[in-house]
Chains A and B, each alone.
Chain A
Amino acid sequence: MAIEVRIPTILRSHTGGAKVVEGTGDTLNDLLSDLDARHPGLRGRLVTDDGGLHRFVNVYVNDEDVRFLGALDTKLSDGDTVTILPAVAGG
């Protein structure tokens, strides 16, 4: 099961500069743990101590904000794309 994960510039220090990494997991939570095993510290930048997504981080599964799917329990399928972006202003 392969999930493509797009990493924002600010977090590429954890992936050796890689923009895109691969991971696996039935849920977003599992995926982040899987990624953290190979890219230590990555999960800690995204998930706060109380187990929720950092408020200035947006995560999308197939271009949909996970906060409207299942948040960290969002189910993942083979071939899904996960995109991580910092929250920015617009208007």
Chain B
Amino acid sequence: MPRYESLLDACGGTPLVGLPRLSPTVPEGAPPVRLWAKLEDRNPTGSVKDRAALFMVRAAEEAGRLRPGDTILEPTSGNTGIALAMVAKLRGYRLVCVMPENVSAERVQLLRMYGAEIIFSPAAGGSNQAVANAKMLAAEHPDWVMLYQYGNEANARAHYETTGPELLRDLPTITHFVAGLGTTGTLMGTGRYLREKVESIEIVAAEPRYGELVYGLRNIDEGYVPELYDPSVLTRRFSVGTRDAVLRTRQLVEVEGLFVGFSTGAVLHAALAVAHEAVKAGRRADVAFLVADAGWKYLSTGAYGGTLSDAEEALEGQLWA
């Protein structure tokens, strides 16, 4: 095991773990179809966002936008805030996060523990409202630095330079990469890299489909598409509802002992769909999917126990991804 000078250096280089029990069985003599999980919870603050946070902060420092003691502002539903809080602490910045009030309790606790300040936006406005509110705050505080994960090329670049190469090094026979679609940074960066290196790679997005409350009465014109998003990088984009995400999350711990957050359940649902298509077509497949985080900060939702319907109800109205 390598040694690192400090926590920030221990970012990335995460394990890729085969899932022999969950991978579909193929008919005798048919080419194998295998699932692989990239464990991004094995990062300094426990999520894939550590990569983006570090790259965005470094880029801002190199561009002279961030100086010691500055205040960073960011709209985030949780993981990015937590990652930035750690980086801010170690690099000497103040952090203000704008977050919808319906995120899990653990996220709030973690942020405060790291010293971040939280400004809540109304649950009914969802993440769109958090983004809008953050933009307003940025205008009111021109000395604050909004890294803006939804449009910051360093977010996608983190994955182009680290996640993608790690995947290819560890799984040269990769045929599919499946990840969650949020800011789109992971899929854009990793997707671009893999498309350059692997002919006929499929880049598959799993988008969480929340309860109705989250979409609310939002006018079509108030919609939001992250500036980083370039659909030409994707091959397919699946919408995965709460029930399926929870089902797969539970399946992963029950069958493979892997304890993940619900966004990973959604990703697994899409990964299984493409894996099964490969089986049906008699094609070889090595489907790598990204585990964005583990389940620790979602335990208070109660959705890991009880019936599926109980879990669905528990997550109703929450931003579970």
Contact = CB atoms under 8 A, between A and B. Distances in A.
Partners in one complex: yes
Interface in A7-63: 8-11, 45, 54-58, 60, 63
B128 A88 contact: yes
Instruction: Classify chain B's interface size.
Output: 35 or more
12 contacts: A10-B218, A55-B223, A60-B239, A85-B215, A86-B215, A86-B220, A88-B215, A89-B131, A89-B150, A90-B321, A91-B149, A91-B182
Nearest to B100: A89
A91 B237 contact: no
B238 interface: yes
B99 to A, nearest CB: 11
B130 interface: yes
Contacts of B181: 90
Contacts of A10: 215-220
A67 B231 contact: yes
Contacts of A64: 236-239
Interface in B87-146: 126-128, 130-131
Interface residues of A, number: 24
Given A65-B238, A67-B231, A68-B237, A89 B215 contact: no
A57 B219 CA distance: 10
- By DSSP majority rule, is chain B's interface helix, strand, loop, or mixed? mixed
A58 B215 CA distance: 12
A83 B220 contact: no
B225 A56 contact: yes
B234 interface: yes
B214 interface: yes
Contact of B127 (A68, A83, A85, A90): A90
A91 B224 contact: no
Contact of B238 (A55, A63, A85, A91): A63
B199 interface: no
A83 B239 contact: yes
Nearest to A56: B223
A83 B212 CA distance: 12
A63 B205 CA distance: 12
A90 B212 contact: no
Given A63-B241, A89-B224, 11 more contacts: A9-B217, A11-B220, A56-B220, A56-B222, A56-B223, A57-B220, A88-B127, A89-B226, A91-B49, A91-B76, A91-B182
Given A9-B215, A10-B219, A56-B225, A88 B126 contact: yes
A91 B205 CA distance: 14
A59 B247 CA distance: 24
Nearest to B234: A68
Interface string B186-224: 000000000000000000010111101011111111111
B239 A57 contact: no
Across the A-B interface, the 10 shortest Cβ-Cβ residue pairs: A56-B223, A90-B182, A91-B182, A89-B127, A65-B237, A91-B183, A87-B223, A60-B239, A89-B224, A63-B239
A60 B207 CA distance: 11
A25 to B, nearest CB: 20
Interface string B70-87: 000001110110000000
